């Protein structure tokens, strides 16, 4: 009998190199789990999937996952776990190096790398995520495409970028990126209710 799939997102760390306007973090004093703690959580996830008789589809994110010294330890665990079918990595796209690329090339369960992009221009994206972030994302997209990774964009919709909601799809098409996920802003941490769109908008 074919197992049903269960999708979940794991924010396995808080540390990040950006200070985004819509970040849900209250502050920037980060305390991340060590490898032992992370593997304990991973094993509990696997136990739950086994108990439910389901296959996991996991999104690893943070924080910025490529900052973690334990990212590839987690990936090794996922690769060895029969209860997890595949996984994505959600990243801000500013910290992926050639070294990361070489290690990711041999990973079999990686479905895609999802990159946060909050505007199709430097003006909008950098307004929300900080100076230089847009150009770095464009560089990262080209690097990943050079090595044939599947890429998608994650667009966080808020008042500051609502006029770009359609334009981001056109930009993705220009970049050769096949999918865009739209997520609404969460009014907590560094964002507030005034950043969120109302029903009329």
Which residue bears the tokens 């910025």? 64
The predicted pLDDT at position 194 comes to: 47
Q: How much is the pLDDT for 75?
A: 98
The percent of residues in the chain predicted with pLDDT above 90, rounded, is: 77
Examine the pLDDT at 27 and tell me if it is beyond 80: no
Question: So what's the pLDDT on residue 152?
Answer: 98
- Measure CA of the first residue to CA of the last residue in the chain; give whole Å: 45
pLDDT of 188 strictly over 60:
no
Q: Examine the pLDDT at 24 and tell me if it is beyond 90.
A: no
pLDDT of residue 198: 60
- Residue extents of the structural domains in the chain: 4-195
Q: Is the Cα dihedral 157, 124, 144, 22 positive or negative?
A: negative
pLDDT of residue 31: 85
- How much of the chain, in percent, has pLDDT values that exceed 70? 88
- Give every strand in the sheet of 110-116, ordered side by side: 4-11, 54-61, 84-91, 110-116, 151-157, 180-184
Backbone CA torsion sign across 104, 105, 110, 112: positive
Predicted confidence at residue 154, as pLDDT, reads 96
CA 178 to chain centre: 16
Cα separation, 188 vs 132, whole angstroms: 25
Higher pLDDT, 75 or 198: 75
Query: What's the rounded mean pLDDT across residues 149-178?
Result: 93
Tell me the pTM.
0.92
Task: Give per-residue burial for 71-95: e unless 16+ CB within 10 Å, then b.
Answer: beebbebbeebebbbebbbbbbbbb
The third-level CATH classification (topology) of the domain covering 4-195 is TIM Barrel (3.20.20)
Q: How high is the pLDDT of residue 50?
A: 97
Express each pLDDT in 83-131 by its tens digit. 999 999 999 999 999 999 999 999 999 999 999 999 999 999 999 999 9
What confidence tens digit (pLDDT) does each residue in 46-91 have?
A: 999 999 999 999 999 999 999 999 999 999 999 999 999 999 999 9
Pairing of strands 151-157, 180-184: parallel
Question: Does 184 score more than 80 pLDDT?
Answer: no
- Which DSSP string corresponds to the chain? -PPEEEEEEEE-----S---TT---S-S------HHHHHHHHHHHHHHHHHHTEEEEEEEESS-GGG-TTHHHHHHHHHH-TTEEEEEEEE-SSS--HHHHHHHTT-SSEEEEEEE---SSHHHHHHHH-TTHHHHHHHHHHHHHHTT--EEEEEEE-GGGGGGTTHHHHHHHHHT---EEEEE---STT--GGGS--S--
Instruction: Map tokens 């009998």 to a residue.
Output: 1
pLDDT-derived band at 157 (thresholds 50, 70, 90) equals: confident
């Amino acid at each position: 009998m074919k197992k049903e799939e269960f999708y979940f997102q794991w924010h396995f760390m808080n540390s990040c190199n950006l200070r985004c306007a819509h970040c849900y973090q209250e502050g920037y004093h980060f305390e991340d789990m060590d490898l032992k703690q992370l593997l304990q959580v991973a094993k509990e996830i696997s136990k739950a999937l086994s108990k439910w008789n389901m296959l996991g589809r996991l999104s690893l994110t943070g924080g910025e996952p490529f900052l973690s010294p334990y990212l590839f330890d987690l990936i090794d665990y996922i690769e060895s776990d029969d209860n997890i079918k595949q996984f994505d990595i959600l990243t801000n796209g500013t910290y992926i190096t050639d070294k990361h690329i070489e290690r990711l090339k041999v990973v079999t369960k990686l479905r895609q790398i999802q990159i946060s992009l909050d505007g199709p221009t430097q003006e909008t994206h950098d307004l929300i995520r900080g100076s230089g972030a847009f150009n770095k994302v464009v560089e990262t997209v080209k690097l990943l495409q050079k090595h044939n990774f599947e890429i998608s964009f994650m667009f966080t919709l808020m008042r500051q970028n609502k006029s770009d909601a359609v334009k981001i799809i056109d930009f993705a098409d220009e970049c050769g990126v096949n999918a865009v996920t739209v997520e609404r802003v969460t009014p907590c941490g560094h964002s507030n209710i005034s950043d969120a769109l109302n029903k009329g908008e």
